[in-house]
Amino acid sequence: MSDGLSTELFVQGHVRLCFSLGLTAVVAHKGDAWGGAILVKLNLLGPGCRLLTQTRDEDGEIAWLPVQGGALLTEVEADAYIARSVQRDPDLWVVEIEDRAGRNPFPGKIL
């Protein structure tokens, strides 16, 4: 995750940040406490969902890669993608955030 900070603490802190912003956020799947990557499901509450997978940019900083080029997915499509991802990588953390604006509260740029 980052120097000395577990993925679990990083996720918990950002879920609390969502609550402070008035957003609903849930951990849909808990992965490895120290080394799990994060997948964010942004539920836009009507038009669909966007998925972002955690990666690193050219400087080694946290960044986010939009799934399917950032296209809106139906909830069924998004959940199927998540299920396949968790099956491939059980250490993966999945965080679902409900926000009509589709904001990602986690630090890092979207590539």
102 three-state secondary structure:
coil
15 three-state secondary structure:
helix
Q: What is the pLDDT of residues 22-78, one digit of tens each?
A: 999 999 999 999 989 999 999 999 899 999 999 999 998 889 999 999 999 999 999
Residue 53 has which token pair? 């997978």
Q: What is the DSSP string of 21-64?
A: TT-EEEEEE---TTT--EEEEEE-SSS-EEEEEEEE-TTS-EEE
Q: What is the pLDDT of residue 40?
A: 97
Asked whether residue 2 carries a pLDDT value surpassing 70, the answer given is: no
70 three-state secondary structure:
helix
Asked whether residue 3 carries a pLDDT value surpassing 70, the answer given is: no
What pTM does this model have? 0.90
Q: What is the pLDDT of residue 5?
A: 85
Q: Which amino acid is at 41?
A: K
Q: What is the pLDDT of residues 87-102, one digit of tens each?
A: 999 999 999 999 999 9
